Chain A
């Protein structure tokens, strides 16, 4: 079972898609049922990945590896570590939510719509589990196609512009990335005499710094566009605004994480010398910080509800990249957790917009106001999503932000000082949005009879709400899963990081003065 688990997870959506193609297009409810069933099956088969995961093992698990195109040295090699595990779980769960949330909102080309989503699921899972660069690239490109159609067919008024912009923009990035991959591929042949795309083999390369730098920048373009980092972000607001709700949810929750994942999985370990080159790190951190503040300030002044949320993604993803380029355990672990958090909270925020968009077919903020009176449950769920996104302690966002800030502070105190303004501005644009849409009096007669969340709509939020509380109150399992792979990564980039000794004198004396727990089961000393 274990040896093919990942392939099962990978191909379950595709199998669902195959069956879907044979269903009669006229029976929309059957198609919906089947698509939901496939997505749920996709999530359920991914659950054993969690239960059987060995967190004490820092390497890749559930490995599968066999030749695919032997003449080119291409392998079908998949496996996951703690970092990919979290992202795979995010993908399978978000897939369920996105597909479930579309039940009523999509009524045209239903079959094609769900086909695209299922195809996309396989593509995204593939990106997160590939250990062969060629395979990775294939999945990376596969993801592009369904999203292009989702925006271009089921999108809003400017859907064609947005879809083409999205497609060309990201394609440009991937082509440059391909150049980087090929550089590694041929370098490997020159140095070691055989062709391979396997990450584990490519990591054995020893390249001069200037080549590493070229590869780094080639990767950078590809990943930075996907994240998106400032100044490559402008495809994002358009794509988000025009995409249907479920498309936005997938785009924000999962697709963007392909970029940050790329940095963690490929840039840092494959070109470590370039990744710690001080000026490169400065540039990357600088762009991240600009993204944090810039995204927040631009969010503040948006008139379009969905665009506001889209720009907030730029700000949040800035935290994620800042964490990565802090190049220390807390920065990177915080970044991965924040990627999950952003998936949860921004996913919820897009679903929130989707609910009223379905009712009113407008996203203009000034069309709303006082909705808390007519849609009380909705206003509570929105408040929850807002707090989760704004980094309220005991919800998910705080854990990620605080950990990233710690990492950034360790790397460079000024970075943390700048980034922390993003925390303040984050509260500002979200609260202002909430006030303008939910509070005050009902100013528009059209909003007076809006129905509150239906049970189905509420159920869409439940998994995210539960997840947000879990991460906020008990994040330890996440840190545990990340500890080993992150430590390995840091060790790879900064050899000797963990050689420092703890301050023994201070710590020793501290434990000595701690009050003894008086025998009750509630007191447990924390292992440090």
Chain B
């Protein structure tokens, strides 16, 4: 069977699952309908509001088989297709099904004409194959985990429906063969993120967080859209193959000095990436996104969706390679985000928020790598991060589960022996992210730091930021571990009594991910460790064909040569700093637990600033939400009612006024004149009229009087 021709099917399995759940799921799982959340003070509805827990258990079982099953099918098909791909000589396969967006011809910017069109087409190459394996593989594990985690929540079908829908859109994103179809997945995962963050929609905070995520992402998307339009105008196509072809054909010259059209294009695309991948200045939505159920945080807000920006930048490497200035911006933004988020993570008390800021920070690392042209390292870190961060999130979910929903680490402690599987797996995850040699995080993070230091596009100051962030990472992760698992429990008795290890559906995914967190790094062993054969560096070689264009540019840029001793030194430094971070955390939170309080008091406003996330949310609310949007909207509403509509109503009033004037004029001037004239005629005719009575007798009398007068006159003569 030729699985390569069937890659278009990969996204369709989860779509089928989602459609089934959203269309008939409510019938299968009627429990959802009965749980009406009512604000205090409002009398609950009497009818149909009894809690019907345990209802629909059989249907739940079906859903639990069906939805993860769909993702598993995708995973198996992906694996088969990737396996076949690896035996192809050029390691790329495109399936175009039909023309999706079939627009009209247009004038390109530099003369010439092209057609505005985008395929419904899929591209499997080394880059997308890594992505689909991560998405379906880790996605499947998280689906399994959710069976246990969501067992007691209402809307079971809805949750799995959204989750499957997410996997569909994510697969569209990474498998699309052009930017426009990528954008379909890009927006689609944003939608699912909105739906899943707001899953507990009776909570206002959840609704707010979902909305914030969607709108902040939309701002990035506006940049992405403009980038695509500029690409169409410049290159004439949005298909990856065409764009890469055009960019490497020599028609476009690298914009080494100055900011040209390619730089603008790359920057606009990167704005899109800052939205989706939560980078400065659009990172603010991700920490709030933790309102969603924990499996969602693991899948969407750690392992897959938020890495879409990194994927997209890596996908556009031919473009970024031509614009060193934009690449530098990418690296600097990544570094700044990394250290900013890490600094906030140092003091957060909510276990999921620490992990959220950690994710923002790690994404910053990935952009640092992409910015210095080490795209494969960015993808490598994406790959390893997917394992250990999903593990940490799922572990935190297991902790929260055990703690009856408590998320504040100040109320935890001493869980080490009570939930041993969770503890051991999270331990592995924390060692991995801290960068201790042998585990996944070390390989990728150390490679990033080395590339930032040594690459011709890199810079020493970015490296310093990176190494400081690495130290912070080790510290806040182990602060989390010590506060949660070590020492004495700070929870109340009832919660303590209730602490329990999670069911198998949750622990087995944890263990699998823990294994991944140990092993995933061993396919990208540093070149320095020359004892290991090339087989241990498969990852880089696998991705080489995708990054050929940028690699060629980098060679043209000139390769700086560094002594291996420097490399050993830096590696030692990063390990030392990781260990130092862990030990500091141990000292502060295990050995001398009173010390953090003292430091907090001593540091004063700095601590508060960190705790309040540098007040960025407040600033944005003030400037953009309440200022520009709501303020502008209110102002314009008033303008509309008073000025624009005032003009219309004024015109109406003027019409009525002039008509009144006309009526007056009509009545008193025109008509008055006529009546006056007639009155005058009447008056002047009065003397005449008094004779014209119409009575024959009067006429006869006048006649007689006249005759008498005549007679008298002549008689008198």
Select one of A294, A440, A448 contacting B636, CB under 8 A.
A294
A309 contacts chain B at the CB level, 8 A cutoff: no
Q: Which residue in chain A gives the minimum CB-CB distance to B198?
A: A439
A234 contacts chain B at the CB level, 8 A cutoff: yes
A41 contacts chain B at the CB level, 8 A cutoff: no
Binds A, one of B447-455, B505-513, B544-552, B637-645: B637-645
Q: Report the minimal beta-carbon distance from A197 to chain B, rounded to whole angstroms.
A: 30
Is B191 a contact partner of A501 (Cβ separation < 8 A)? no
Interface residues as binary, B67-102 with A (CB distance below 8 Å gives 1, 0 otherwise): 000000000000000000000001011111111111
Q: Which residue in chain A gives the minimum CB-CB distance to B634?
A: A301
B619 contacts chain A at the CB level, 8 A cutoff: no
Interface residues as binary, A385-408 with B (CB distance below 8 Å gives 1, 0 otherwise): 001000011100011001101110
Q: Which of B645-679 contact A (CB under 8 A)?
A: 645, 647-648, 652
Interface residues as binary, A453-485 with B (CB distance below 8 Å gives 1, 0 otherwise): 000000000000000000001111001101100
Alpha-carbon separation in the docked complex, A498 to B107 (Å): 9
Is A503 a contact partner of B236 (Cβ separation < 8 A)? yes
B215 contacts chain A at the CB level, 8 A cutoff: yes
A410 contacts chain B at the CB level, 8 A cutoff: yes
Is B98 a contact partner of A298 (Cβ separation < 8 A)? no
Is A506 a contact partner of B208 (Cβ separation < 8 A)? no
Residues of B within 8 A of A369 (CB): 39
Alpha-carbon separation in the docked complex, A406 to B245 (Å): 22
Is A441 a contact partner of B37 (Cβ separation < 8 A)? yes
Q: Which residue in chain B gives the minimum CB-CB distance to A502?
A: B113
Q: Which residue in chain B gives the minimum CB-CB distance to A473?
A: B100
A89 contacts chain B at the CB level, 8 A cutoff: no
Q: Which residue in chain B gives the minimum CB-CB distance to A446?
A: B42
Select one of B93, B119, B184 contacting A393, CB under 8 A.
B184
Is A432 a contact partner of B211 (Cβ separation < 8 A)? yes
Q: Report the minimal beta-carbon distance from B267 to chain A, rounded to whole angstroms.
A: 13
Q: Report the minimal beta-carbon distance from B180 to chain A, rounded to whole angstroms.
A: 8
Is A509 a contact partner of B101 (Cβ separation < 8 A)? no
Residues of A within 8 A of B2 (CB): 518, 520
A445 contacts chain B at the CB level, 8 A cutoff: yes
Count, chain A residues at interface, CB 8 A: 96
Is B245 a contact partner of A528 (Cβ separation < 8 A)? no
Binds B, one of A16-24, A261-269, A419-427: A419-427
Interface residues as binary, B198-231 with A (CB distance below 8 Å gives 1, 0 otherwise): 1001111001100100110011011001100110
B242 contacts chain A at the CB level, 8 A cutoff: yes
Residues of B within 8 A of A168 (CB): 652
B66 contacts chain A at the CB level, 8 A cutoff: no
Binds B, one of A113-121, A141-149, A370-378: A370-378
Binds B, one of A30-38, A328-336, A348-356: A328-336
Is B113 a contact partner of A501 (Cβ separation < 8 A)? yes
Select one of A442, A448, A475, A518 contacting B102, CB under 8 A.
A475
Is A487 a contact partner of B95 (Cβ separation < 8 A)? no
* A402-B225, A423-B222 given; A510·B245 CB < 8 A: yes
Alpha-carbon separation in the docked complex, A334 to B221 (Å): 20
Residues of A within 8 A of B22 (CB): 380
Is B38 a contact partner of A441 (Cβ separation < 8 A)? yes
Is A474 a contact partner of B100 (Cβ separation < 8 A)? yes
Q: Which residue in chain A gives the minimum CB-CB distance to B22?
A: A380
B419 contacts chain A at the CB level, 8 A cutoff: no
Is B229 a contact partner of A509 (Cβ separation < 8 A)? no
Alpha-carbon separation in the docked complex, A522 to B184 (Å): 21
Is B218 a contact partner of A300 (Cβ separation < 8 A)? no
Is B215 a contact partner of A528 (Cβ separation < 8 A)? no
Is A487 a contact partner of B104 (Cβ separation < 8 A)? yes
Select one of B45, B99, B105, B251 contacting A476, CB under 8 A.
B99
Residues of A within 8 A of B211 (CB): 431-432, 435
* A506-B236, A523-B96 given; A420·B636 CB < 8 A: no
Is A424 a contact partner of B215 (Cβ separation < 8 A)? yes
* A441-B39, A443-B39, A487-B104 given; A300·B633 CB < 8 A: yes
Q: Report the minimal beta-carbon distance from B633 to chain A, rounded to whole angstroms.
A: 4
Q: Report the minimal beta-carbon distance from B704 to chain A, rounded to whole angstroms.
A: 68
Alpha-carbon separation in the docked complex, A526 to B94 (Å): 12
Is B98 a contact partner of A524 (Cβ separation < 8 A)? yes
Is B184 a contact partner of A394 (Cβ separation < 8 A)? yes
Residues of B within 8 A of A298 (CB): 633, 636-637, 640
A428 contacts chain B at the CB level, 8 A cutoff: yes
Residues of B within 8 A of A387 (CB): 191
Alpha-carbon separation in the docked complex, A233 to B188 (Å): 33
Residues of B within 8 A of A475 (CB): 100-102
A285 contacts chain B at the CB level, 8 A cutoff: no
A52 contacts chain B at the CB level, 8 A cutoff: no
Residues of B within 8 A of A417 (CB): 226
Alpha-carbon separation in the docked complex, A409 to B38 (Å): 48
Q: Which residue in chain A gives the minimum CB-CB distance to B645?
A: A234
Q: Which residue in chain B gives the minimum CB-CB distance to A333?
A: B104
Select one of A230, A487, A501, A515 contacting B92, CB under 8 A.
A515
B472 contacts chain A at the CB level, 8 A cutoff: no
Alpha-carbon separation in the docked complex, A231 to B651 (Å): 14
* A234-B645, A393-B188 given; A416·B229 CB < 8 A: yes
Q: Report the minimal beta-carbon distance from B484 to chain A, rounded to whole angstroms.
A: 31
A449 contacts chain B at the CB level, 8 A cutoff: yes
Residues of B within 8 A of A252 (CB): none
Is A431 a contact partner of B42 (Cβ separation < 8 A)? no
A108 contacts chain B at the CB level, 8 A cutoff: no
Q: Report the minimal beta-carbon distance from B410 to chain A, rounded to whole angstroms.
A: 28
Residues of B within 8 A of A524 (CB): 96-98
Q: Which residue in chain A gives the minimum CB-CB distance to B123?
A: A515
B269 contacts chain A at the CB level, 8 A cutoff: no
Is B95 a contact partner of A410 (Cβ separation < 8 A)? no
Is B107 a contact partner of A410 (Cβ separation < 8 A)? yes
B623 contacts chain A at the CB level, 8 A cutoff: no
Is A373 a contact partner of B184 (Cβ separation < 8 A)? no
Residues of B within 8 A of A482 (CB): 104
A382 contacts chain B at the CB level, 8 A cutoff: no
Q: Which of A259-302 contact B (CB under 8 A)?
A: 294, 297-302
Is A443 a contact partner of B42 (Cβ separation < 8 A)? yes
Q: Which of B436-460 contact A (CB under 8 A)?
A: none
Q: Report the minimal beta-carbon distance from B261 to chain A, rounded to whole angstroms.
A: 11
Residues of B within 8 A of A502 (CB): 112-114, 236
B183 contacts chain A at the CB level, 8 A cutoff: yes
Is B630 a contact partner of A301 (Cβ separation < 8 A)? yes
Alpha-carbon separation in the docked complex, A247 to B225 (Å): 35
Residues of A within 8 A of B117 (CB): 526, 528
Q: Which residue in chain B gives the minimum CB-CB distance to A403?
A: B103
Residues of A within 8 A of B208 (CB): 435
* A409-B233, A502-B114, A518-B4 given; A427·B39 CB < 8 A: no
Q: Which residue in chain B gives the minimum CB-CB distance to A479?
A: B102
Alpha-carbon separation in the docked complex, A297 to B187 (Å): 22
B36 contacts chain A at the CB level, 8 A cutoff: yes
Is B226 a contact partner of A416 (Cβ separation < 8 A)? yes
Alpha-carbon separation in the docked complex, A476 to B120 (Å): 11
Is A523 a contact partner of B5 (Cβ separation < 8 A)? yes
Residues of A within 8 A of B236 (CB): 502-503, 506-507
Is A510 a contact partner of B637 (Cβ separation < 8 A)? no
Q: Which residue in chain A gives the minimum CB-CB distance to B203?
A: A440
Alpha-carbon separation in the docked complex, A394 to B106 (Å): 23
Is A444 a contact partner of B104 (Cβ separation < 8 A)? no
A486 contacts chain B at the CB level, 8 A cutoff: yes
A-B contact pairs, 30 of them (CB 8 A): A234-B645, A329-B106, A330-B104, A370-B37, A392-B191, A405-B229, A409-B229, A410-B106, A417-B226, A423-B225, A424-B221, A428-B215, A431-B194, A435-B211, A438-B201, A439-B198, A439-B207, A443-B42, A445-B42, A501-B113, A503-B114, A509-B245, A514-B241, A520-B2, A522-B6, A523-B5, A523-B94, A524-B97, A526-B99, A526-B117
Q: Which 7 residue pairs across A and B have the least CB separation, nearest first?
A: A329-B104, A301-B633, A503-B112, A300-B633, A441-B39, A393-B184, A234-B645
Extra contacts besides A168-B652, A440-B203, A500-B111 (11): CB < 8 Å:
A231-B647, A294-B636, A330-B106, A393-B187, A393-B188, A423-B222, A445-B42, A497-B107, A513-B241, A515-B92, A517-B96
